[in-house]
Structure 1
Amino acid sequence: MKRARSLSVTLLLLLSLLPAHAAQAPVALPGVERITSVEGINEYRLPNGLRVLLFPDPSKPTVTVNITYLVGSKHENYGETGMAHLLEHLLFKGSTKHTNVPKELQDHGSRPNGTTWFDRTNYFETFQASDANLEWALDLEADRMVNSFVAKKDLDSEMTVVRNEYESGENSPMNVLQERVMSAAYLWHNYGKSTIGARSDIENVPIDRLQAFYRNYYQPDNAILLVAGKIDEGKTLGLINRYFGGIPRPQRVLQANYTTEPVQDGERSVTLRRVGDVQGVVAAYHIPAGSHPDFAALDMAAEILADSPSGRLYKALVETKKAATVSGGTYQLREPGLAIFDASVRKESSLQDARDTLLATVDAIASTPFTAEEVERARARMLKNIELLLNSSDRVGLQISEWAALGDWRLLFMNRDRLRKVTVEDVQRVARNYFKPDNRTVGLFIPTDKPDRAEIPGAVDLATMMKDYKGDPAVSLGEAFDPSPENIDNRTQRVTLPGGMKLALIPKETRGDVVSASLRLEFGDENSLNEKAIVGRLTGQMLMRGSTQHTRQQIQDELDKLKARLNIGGGATGVTATVETVHENLPKVLALAAEILRQPAFPATEFESLRQQTIASIEQQKSEPDAIAMQAFQRQMNPYPKGDVRYVATFDEQIAELRALTTDDLKKFHTEFYGASNSELAIVGDFDTEEAQKAVGTQLAGWKSPKPYTQVKNPYRRIDAVNQS
């Protein structure tokens, strides 16, 4: 694989900067109704029913246009499964005024982006801020709303793509197992049907039914248009009214869903037998809608159970080697959804033991209540993620689709408020109420007698709940930054520290006082790294799992306290650390990153856990067509001899080398190669340059690389095509 030697400050800026904006006052436009305003987002409604959300952010050099239609797979009737997803594909096949949508997107610096879920479908594009680009995007979405071709020839030509998506999902046993569990969990509601649909429906859907579905749901009164980024609110609202205002409100009336899933009256079981190398177990519990007051506490309960490494399931299954991995979470839906937990189990381990342990851990909540420490840890992480999300207008612009689909986009902020107020008693209460044996469906990928029913609340009265909701004040302002190469070059301060570390610094005002950094250490050469590919990769993966001063959990807890994200990882030729935090915490986060890089502990338990997870992942890939094809491609493109650091090992070779590794091997590699003599650090955002230089200089400037460094190149060569089967 080719590896870039030097850090691109421009790329870091474009990908990492979080924006800031001054909240613009809501504007008035004849015939356009102003609905509400929360935390810098203003809502309007056009006479035809189109809801408009405007989120100005002058610090962002781009604009995101995201239109959400309140239609998803749950709205499909018998014989129509997969129709919402099919329609998403066909809207990129052209409309009356925009006959080649993919080309237009490419010409404007964007690409086809659309997603389909149970409650909604959305289309979005992000492009360089300009009047011409904005008018083009609004004209495109307005024309696609009512003038898309939805033609039989396009359906036929797109069928191969959709069929490949279907087959890709079918090649993942855990994906199929979760679909089977959801299908068994829902007797009547359409949440039990996968969004991709049934193969027979996909391949045989009549075009007239698809066109009728389009005409019924793709209308202004069933859509929410959001424009976020570098916009003038008054001008943008006028443009929206120009392009969308002429679309008439439809005469039809959308029928509300009246199918209510009955209370589950006993544990249900699913067994899946398919080709595969890793066993799996999935457990699903019915929970209220994402808008319900209980949802925040349930989300926190799922976080406490499934988090790694502090989660109860992780400790009960992964640390005891009963499972290789665990995960879990809640389905945030408009109507009652699910909380799902799963574990992957190596063939050598007992699937039944893993199943019993997973269920027993959830059941034990009744006798072993959640602690204040568990709740506060989950709260810190969840609120951190929300806070960092809200500091980026483009992220908010896309996340709004999920909350709007629940019935009101302001639920994004109300859910945050609820997380702040959740108590230990709340989390314990909802877990006991909903995580009952008779309320679950359990699935096994191979290889209850007394009812204890859970009443699932219906949809809440959102109008009453939102009546007096105000939200928080808008966050701190940032500057409008010119991302041109000339301005970036002028604003960049370049420094070389004693010892050779190169710094590129761009101090600037950002939304929420955010600062981002990226550090790259390079080491070794083609000769010294011979036979070091696997040990180098695992060394990089182990760094975040504990230092001599902090355990893995303590590192995570410290990052949550510092409102920071820190990712460190790499391979045999180098390691990269990326940081995202706020102004006042940057020195502490840099110090923590330096500690992790210089003083890794390589704890034996964490090493064994990582090794088992890695082996399980490789074993799973051995039966996945995509993974097999990718490895064959990489081996063909990198024809280096075995032992060369660029050599691509087979699955079996990787497993054999992983089994032979010890923590001493990792410690030796770190001692022999790691150092900061050949390193580059870029920092962009709200920070003090002298303070940052001092922090970096104190921690890393004197850390010399033990071995000489020469970039390991992957030169151009002719690669002959092969046909393998």
Structure 2
Amino acid sequence: MGLQLSFRHAGYYIFSAPIVSGHSADESLKQMTQALENLAENPLQADELERFQATVAAQQWQLLQNPGLLADVLSESAALGNWQLILDRFEHFADLTLADVQQQAETLLNANQRFTGQLLATPISDRLTDASGVSSAQITTLKPTDDKSALMNSPATAVPEFDLLAFNQQVEMIEASLERYELSNGLQIILRAQPGSGKPVQGRMTFRFGDADTLNHKRALAELTGTLIIRGTETKSFQELVDQVNRMGAGLFIQPSTGTVSVRLETPPKHLETLLTLVQEVLKQPALTQEDFDVVKRQQQQALRQTNQQPAQVANRAYLRQVERHPEGHLLRHRDHNELLAELEPLTLDDVKTFHRQFYGTNHGQLALSGDFDPETIKPLLQQLFGQWNSPAPFTREEQLHEPFPEARLHAHANALLTGHYLTYLHFPANNADEDAAALLLAERVLGRHPIQSRLSKRFRQDKGLTYGIRTSIKIANLGTDSWINIESSYPMTQGEKFADLVKDEVSKLIEFGITEEELLQAKQAIFQERQLALGQDQIILAHLPNQTYRGHTYLDWIKRNNDFATVTLDQVNAAIRKHLASAIWIEVLADRAGSKD
């Protein structure tokens, strides 16, 4: 990784690389130094400069299409005395010659300018007392603020009325702007054409394959295959792919998982057809060479061997192990690094080619496009590219049903000096189509969604001074009934058990006494504002479409949920709290240096 930091009179570059356990740091440093300081014997090439300039030109175009980011950049330039600074810099990049860059590289990247060092992590036991003499015995809680009024929002009586009718009409207009249909093989298409708008075209594509039987013990193979396909096609190398995307000023991102592949794309309107054709080539005609296979497999093995011991990651792994109910190799089993390593080790290039041939195809998928394009031009191209490519494997997904399991409070060991991490899930049966789903969403917001005004934040931040960052989230199942509320926060060392007890106490009060009319009004207002803000952004509207369509929904379902939020009563919310949370199964995890090691 290289980074240039600039100052008024001087600057410096930082080049760094992580060292895999067992490899020589000295040898890695030697190789890096030779690559950087050998530019006289191995000068920069014209195609490398052209590649850089194409990338910068693409960044310039993307910046000019983003008003919010452009305003930030221009304000920063103005603060430095020249609001055109960033535009001048783009022009300078475009005018660079190979001789200019070579001269600067040889001047700056040489042994006379070099400082080297290594960042070596020490065991947590060696850091229990830091250089300032602070030890665990001296750790205290945060001091609560004296001015609690500064942390409070306006009272409910000051909350303005929300125009629900106007918002629902906005949702109707969004749905009316969409064209939904299927290609001949079943691929679901959602088009939001905005011809003449000048907006970049953005796309989201998800195709799904396999079932619990055919994908058994194939998680590592699926992820390896999905990573390899972007390494080149039958006619283009990886570098040629990157260069073509950059020359178009486009962006392309492909993310594999066990039974899906997701694609994100963005391009100037004039290059949409070229980029879609390139996407099809990458997905359908990957090169899958032995050289790329060896590189990617080795990288994935190295990544899986690196276990993050920070408290939040440790807590999450401990939680997933506790609630795991699927057998090893199952499609829905949580990721386990040791299991994935065992799956990855024996895989060959032939395994990858076979997996690609047996599972890849677009017949069980969704493709959404939004921006400045002519739908009548794009429709036949989509059919040509994706309408006849089918996955031979059957496709089904199991519903995730709520299953009772024993409650637990775990204490896991993590590398942390001053703080630990608290993680809790309250599991309960519910489905997004249930009549009290809206009530549950409102209840969770009152409990902990807001970083300052929620019940948990008020108690832990203002009253107890234990943390500034306690938050909640909620998942109500779309398929099945496996639902939960998550509570998460850091806490001061030695305060973990007290912290967990206080969380339980606050939830118990919520169950016993419910929420107030004022809290309900504020929660409704906040939800409507967030939903309206989301639907004011093209990118968010687009992001919803693949999964929304997969579940058989449209944006008209937002209107029903809007109406549910508007009409739900205080009694209904408090009844939903008692129904679901009073019997919820608690899985709590404390992760800090005093916890038990695996």
Contact 2:184 2:387 in 1 (8 A): yes
Instruction: Name the structure 2 match of 1:442.
Output: 588
Cα deviation digits, residues 324-380 of structure 1 (max 9, x gap)? 421221246543243211121122x51100011112212222212122322332232
Cα deviation digits, residues 431-475 of structure 1 (max 9, x gap)? 33332465221111135xxxxxxxxxxxxxxxxxxxxxxxxxxxx
| Bigger mean CA deviation after superposition, 113-122 or 260-269 | 113-122
Higher helix share: 2
Question: In 2, Cα distance between the equivalents of 1:85 and 1:276?
Answer: 31
1:357 maps to which of 491, 497, 502: 502
Which amino acid is 2:378 matched to? T
Instruction: Name the structure 1 match of 2:426.
Output: 285
- Deviation of the 1:230 alpha carbon: 0.7
- Deviation of the 1:268 alpha carbon: 2.6
2:492 maps to which of 320, 339, 346: 346
Which amino acid is 2:334 matched to? K
Matches within 5 A, 1:503-582: none
Question: In 1, Cα distance between the equivalents of 2:521 and 2:259?
Answer: 31
- Deviation of the 1:197 alpha carbon: 8.2
- Deviation of the 1:312 alpha carbon: 1.1
Distance 1:359 1:152, change over 3 A: farther
Please give the secondary structure, in 2, of the residue aligned with 1:48: coil
Contact 2:186 2:364 in 1 (8 A): yes
Instruction: Name the structure 2 match of 1:298.
Output: 440
Instruction: Name the structure 2 match of 1:103.
Output: 243
Question: In 2, Cα distance between the equivalents of 1:82 and 1:370?
Answer: 46
Contact 1:102 1:112 in 2 (8 A): no
Please give the secondary structure, in 1, of the residue aligned with 2:529: helix
Matches within 5 A, 1:101-140: 101-115=241-255, 120-130=260-270, 133-140=271-278
Is 2:440 aligned against 1:312?
A: no
Contact 2:427 2:485 in 1 (8 A): yes
2:474 maps to which of 307, 326, 330: 330
Contact 1:345 1:351 in 2 (8 A): yes
Please give the secondary structure, in 2, of the residue aligned with 1:113: strand
Contact 1:273 1:446 in 2 (8 A): yes
1:274 maps to which of 399, 411, 414: 414
2:516 maps to which of 371, 383, 398: 371
Greater relative contact order, per chain length (Cα 8 Å cut-off, separation 6+): 2
- Deviation of the 1:193 alpha carbon: 0.2
Please give the secondary structure, in 2, of the residue aligned with 1:353: helix
- Deviation of the 1:13 alpha carbon: 6.0
Instruction: Name the structure 2 match of 1:219.
Output: 361
Question: In 2, Cα distance between the equivalents of 1:413 and 1:126?
Answer: 29
Question: In 2, Cα distance between the equivalents of 1:156 and 1:56?
Answer: 42
Distance 1:438 1:137, change over 3 A: same
Question: In 2, Cα distance between the equivalents of 1:353 and 1:93?
Answer: 51
Using the size of structure 2 for normalisation, the TM-score is 0.62
Which amino acid is 1:441 matched to? I
- Deviation of the 1:54 alpha carbon: 0.2
Distance 1:409 1:150, change over 3 A: farther
Question: In 2, Cα distance between the equivalents of 1:165 and 1:157?
Answer: 12
Please give the secondary structure, in 2, of the residue aligned with 1:170: coil
Please give the secondary structure, in 2, of the residue aligned with 1:345: strand
Contact 2:179 2:192 in 1 (8 A): yes
Distance 1:150 1:9, change over 3 A: closer
Using the size of structure 1 for normalisation, the TM-score is 0.52
Please give the secondary structure, in 1, of the residue aligned with 2:540: helix
Instruction: Name the structure 2 match of 1:232.
Output: 374
2:533 maps to which of 350, 365, 388: 388
Question: In 2, Cα distance between the equivalents of 1:384 and 1:74?
Answer: 40
Contact 1:116 1:195 in 2 (8 A): no
Q: How many residues align?
A: 423
Matches within 5 A, 1:408-557: 408=553, 410=555, 415-416=561-562, 418-436=564-582, 439-446=585-592
Question: In 2, Cα distance between the equivalents of 1:143 and 1:391?
Answer: 34
Instruction: Name the structure 2 match of 1:629.
Output: none
Contact 1:301 1:427 in 2 (8 A): yes
Question: In 1, Cα distance between the equivalents of 2:584 and 2:253?
Answer: 40
Instruction: Name the structure 2 match of 1:399.
Output: 544
Please give the secondary structure, in 2, of the residue aligned with 1:95: coil
Distance 1:432 1:217, change over 3 A: farther
Is 2:320 aligned against 1:175?
A: no
Distance 1:205 1:340, change over 3 A: farther
Listed as ranges, the gaps of 5+ residues in structure 1 are: 24-36, 448-725
Contact 2:314 2:413 in 1 (8 A): no
Question: In 2, Cα distance between the equivalents of 1:300 and 1:87?
Answer: 41
Which amino acid is 1:271 matched to? H
Cα deviation digits, residues 19-76 of structure 1 (max 9, x gap)? xxxx9xxxxxxxxxxxxx9342221101111111101134352001221123699899
Instruction: Name the structure 2 match of 1:537.
Output: none
Distance 1:78 1:254, change over 3 A: closer
- Deviation of the 1:118 alpha carbon: 8.1
Please give the secondary structure, in 1, of the residue aligned with 2:512: coil
Is 2:97 aligned against 1:45?
A: no
Listed as ranges, the gaps of 5+ residues in structure 2 are: 9-59, 71-168, 594-598
2:345 maps to which of 181, 194, 204: 204
Contact 1:185 1:192 in 2 (8 A): no
Question: In 2, Cα distance between the equivalents of 1:57 and 1:143?
Answer: 26
Which amino acid is 1:183 matched to? R
Which amino acid is 2:471 matched to? S
Is 2:407 aligned against 1:264?
A: no
| Bigger mean CA deviation after superposition, 301-310 or 265-274 | 265-274
- Deviation of the 1:123 alpha carbon: 0.9
- Deviation of the 1:313 alpha carbon: 1.2
Cα deviation digits, residues 519-538 of structure 1 (max 9, x gap)? xxxxxxxxxxxxxxxxxxxx
Distance 1:112 1:269, change over 3 A: farther
Question: In 2, Cα distance between the equivalents of 1:358 and 1:74?
Answer: 37
Instruction: Name the structure 2 match of 1:90.
Output: 228
- Deviation of the 1:274 alpha carbon: 2.2
Question: In 1, Cα distance between the equivalents of 2:577 and 2:402?
Answer: 20
Question: In 2, Cα distance between the equivalents of 1:52 and 1:263?
Answer: 36
- Deviation of the 1:168 alpha carbon: 6.8
Question: In 2, Cα distance between the equivalents of 1:214 and 1:414?
Answer: 41
Contact 2:426 2:484 in 1 (8 A): yes
Matches within 5 A, 1:650-665: none
Distance 1:442 1:370, change over 3 A: same
Contact 1:69 1:121 in 2 (8 A): yes
Distance 1:327 1:334, change over 3 A: same
Cα deviation digits, residues 619-666 of structure 1 (max 9, x gap)? xxxxxxxxxxxxxxxxxxxxxxxxxxxxxxxxxxxxxxxxxxxxxxxx
Question: In 2, Cα distance between the equivalents of 1:261 and 1:9?
Answer: 47
- Deviation of the 1:314 alpha carbon: 0.9
Which amino acid is 1:49 matched to? G
Please give the secondary structure, in 1, of the residue aligned with 2:230: coil
Contact 1:325 1:345 in 2 (8 A): no
Which amino acid is 2:403 matched to? V
Instruction: Name the structure 2 match of 1:692.
Output: none
Question: In 2, Cα distance between the equivalents of 1:164 and 1:405?
Answer: 35
Distance 1:365 1:281, change over 3 A: same
Please give the secondary structure, in 2, of the residue aligned with 1:383: helix
CA root-mean-square deviation: 3.8
Identity of aligned residues (%): 16
- Deviation of the 1:389 alpha carbon: 2.1
Contact 2:359 2:393 in 1 (8 A): no
Please give the secondary structure, in 1, of the residue aligned with 2:395: coil
- Deviation of the 1:161 alpha carbon: 4.5
Distance 1:190 1:104, change over 3 A: same
Contact 1:281 1:445 in 2 (8 A): yes
Distance 1:77 1:60, change over 3 A: same
- Deviation of the 1:124 alpha carbon: 0.8
